[in-house]
Every structure is written in C-alpha cells, then in structure tokens.
Amino acid sequence: MTRVRDLSEEQILERIVPLLPRGNATLLGPGDDAAVLAAPDGRFVVSTDVLVEDRHFRTRWSTGYDVGRRAAAQNLADIAAMGARPTALVTSLVVPGDTELDWVTGLATGLADACAPVGAGAVGGDLSGGPCLVVSITVHGDLEGRPPVLRSGARPGDVVAHAGVRGRSAAGLALLEAGLVRTPLSAAPLEVGDGVLLEDAWERLVAAYLRPEPPLAAGITAARAGATSMLDLSDGLLRDAGRIARASGVRLDLDAGAFAADRDALRSAARAVAAATGLGDPGWGPGNADIDGLVGRWVWAGGEDHGLLATFPAGAQLPVGWSAVGRVHAAGEAGVGAAGPAVTIGGALPADQPGWDHFSA
C-alpha cells in the first residue's frame, strides 16, 4: 500500500493530473505557474469553499472519491446559484503523510466525475502535508452574457421556488451517525416506489449526504427565465432563505404544504433514527411528535442539500425542475412591524431552526 509520504509532491501530481478533466474553457491546463481560462463575455464568476476532515466529512464514512464529488459539487452549486455555467476549478489539498495514495487519486476521480457532466475542467492545484485532510476548492463560471442573479433582487409579489432535494442530506447524515447505514454504499441504489422506503432508499439518503448532486442546469434555466434572486442552499432552507430576505429587504413566506411530500418520504428514516438514538419516552419510544420534529428539522434546517432557492416574477412560468414553495412579501407585512421576521411559514414565525454554523456547532 503506497502512502503519500513515500512519494514526492511531483510524483503524486504525476498520478493525479492525468485523472483530471481538461474542461471546455481551458486554454492552458496544469503544469505552469498558473492556468489560463477563457472568459468569453469579458467577465467571470469565482467562489471558494473548504472541507475539513472531522468537521465536514469523516473518513470512516466518506471515501476519497466521495469527498472529491462532494467538494466539487458544493462549489459548482455556488456558480449555478449566480446563473452561471461552471467552467473550471482549482484545488488545494492538505494530506497527512500516512494517507493512502488511493485516497488522493480517488478524490481526483471524484472531482472529475462531478465536473464532467457540465464540461468544467480541473486546471490546477497545490498539495501540502498537514495534520488532517483539508480540501479547498475555488470554482469559476461563465455568465454567458447574462447579468448575475444576486441574493438581493427579490421583490414583493415574486414567487419563491426551489430546485433539488430537501432534507435528504441531513437525514442521510443522521442515518450514518445512528449506525443504521454502513458505507461504502452500493454503486447503484435500487429505485423504489413513492412511499415505500426500503433500506436501499436509506442508502439514497446517505448518498445525498456523501455525494450531493446539485441541480446545476436549473441555475442557468432560472437565470434565463428571469429569476430575480437565487442562492445555493448549504446551511439549511430557513437560514438561507433569510439571506435572500435580508439582502432584498423583503419577507419570504414558505408554504408548508409544498414540503409535505418531502417530510412524508423521510418519516421511515426518522422513525429508525429516533428509535436507535433513544428519542422520545424511555418506556414507549418515539411518538409522532418526535418523528414530526426530526423530519421538520431535516427539511427546514438541514444543511448541505445544495438545492437552489430562487424568486421569480409573479406569473412567470417556472422552468423544468423548479417548484413553487412560497411567496415574497414586503418586509413588515402581516402585522409584525418593519423589524419582523425575514422568513415565515404560512405567515407564522418558524420554530427556532438556526441551521448550521461552523463555529457554534
């Protein structure tokens, strides 16, 4: 078994670089002091995200491949959330010397598999030893002549819409933490019918956590359809919706009914997690209120689903992949005053669901 400390940085790069996709916008790839990328409309978008071992992933659950997929996906989602097409990413990787080389090459393959469907390249990086695994990715995108879709453009009367999955990543993480699903996952989870949640469906939830698949194309279609605001849901629906609301100076009112199917689909996993973790009355086990609470937390506050939340002008036809989940109101409407809540559910204040913070967590 080869470990990274047995090789020089150049030897490791010789194994990694051939695994990486060149990308459609790449004019000069890895190997020089910098890469050169095309920016056909004279602008580009850029975002960066870092994953730290034991904080954003655990090696006992995630393979190198999983971490590569996940790190790339959450970065690509930030580009999609601007309404841009991802073009290329660069990666800084910190690896302890006893890391297996296979973990590192797996990460490169995961990056490649996440980039390939959108034609993005992996065009450079840096590699260092260190006390724990750190994967820092910077990603770039092309606005294709469109204005960027900001968080600050939502207007009263707009429709709030969502693309992607909801609550699955948090449910998958809970299943892993409860020891109910073991990794590595089977490569091809079984398809199951609506409402029938088999153990294989639990694997789908875990896969949503380990290898999220953000709806990248939906970001571009939303921009084309005139979305007035948009963001990537990384810290939980309520918390991220609040960011659009505050940036736009409006209130987002979400329709609980629009999330009923998501909650129902997660109840079987929630029952299993509640039983396994001793939630509820010690004599009787978890009750319906406990299950409802858990499912609600996953859907409203669960982070890292990496769906997209956007607002569209009233009457706009939502593009394929988007569903209406609420309405934009003027701030201070609904009798709550100008300093009222940024986000409501059916007009009411949500229960306290702050979402994920990397320092208070």
323 binds a copy of itself (CB under 8 A): no
d(CA 138, CA 146): 22
* Span of 128-136, 175-183, 270-278, 279-287 interacting with a copy of itself by CB under 8 A: 128-136
Which one-letter amino acid corresponds to residue 354? P
Which of 67, 111, 118, 143 is in the footprint of a copy of itself by CB under 8 A? Answer: 143
CA distances from 26 to 35, 89, 93, 146, 292 (A): 8, 10, 21, 21, 48
126 binds a copy of itself (CB under 8 A): yes
Residue 281 annotated as lining a ligand binding site: no
| CB of residue 346 to a copy of itself, shortest distance in Å | 27
315 binds a copy of itself (CB under 8 A): no
Residue 62 annotated as lining a ligand binding site: no
| CB of residue 21 to a copy of itself, shortest distance in Å | 16
| Sequence-separated (6 or more) residues with CB below 8 Å from residue 66 | 57, 110, 183, 210, 211
Q: Which is nearer to a copy of itself, 79 or 218 (CB)?
A: 79
Which of 208, 231, 254, 301 is in the footprint of a copy of itself by CB under 8 A? Answer: 231
* 102 phi and psi angles, rounded to 5 deg: -60, -30
Sheet holding 308-312, edge to edge: 229-232, 308-312, 159-163, 323-330, 250-254, 343-345
34 binds a copy of itself (CB under 8 A): yes
Q: Minimal CA–CA distance to 343: which of 235, 226, 221, 267?
A: 235
Sheet holding 121-129, edge to edge: 121-129, 85-95, 134-142
260 binds a copy of itself (CB under 8 A): no
| CB of residue 77 to a copy of itself, shortest distance in Å | 8
Which one-letter amino acid corresponds to residue 67? V
User: Interaction with a copy of itself in 62-81: which residues (CB under 8 A)?
Assistant: 78-79, 81
> 54-88: b or e for each residue (b if 16 or more CB lie within 10 Å)?
eebbeeebbbbbbbbbbbbbbbbbbbbbbbbbbbb
Q: Minimal CA–CA distance to 338: which of 250, 267, 224?
A: 250
| CB of residue 41 to a copy of itself, shortest distance in Å | 8
115 binds a copy of itself (CB under 8 A): no
144 binds a copy of itself (CB under 8 A): no
9 binds a copy of itself (CB under 8 A): yes
Residue 78 annotated as lining a ligand binding site: yes
User: Interaction with a copy of itself in 35-54: which residues (CB under 8 A)?
Assistant: 35-52
17 binds a copy of itself (CB under 8 A): no
Which of 14, 116, 117, 132 is in the footprint of a copy of itself by CB under 8 A? Answer: 132
d(CA 242, CA 184): 35
Burial class (CB in 10 A: 0-12, 13-18, 19+), 283: exposed
User: Interaction with a copy of itself in 235-254: which residues (CB under 8 A)?
Assistant: 247
Q: Are strands 159-163 and 250-254 parallel, antiparallel or unpaired?
A: unpaired
Residue for token digits 């870092």?
50
Residue 103 annotated as lining a ligand binding site: no
Residue 293 annotated as lining a ligand binding site: no
User: Interaction with a copy of itself in 81-110: which residues (CB under 8 A)?
Assistant: 81-82, 84, 88, 90-94, 97
The number of residues that bind a copy of itself (CB under 8 A) is 74
In the annotated binding site for Mg(2+), the residues are: 33, 47-49, 78, 126, 232, 235
In the annotated binding site, the residues are: 33, 47-49, 56, 78, 125-126, 151, 232, 234-235, 304, 356
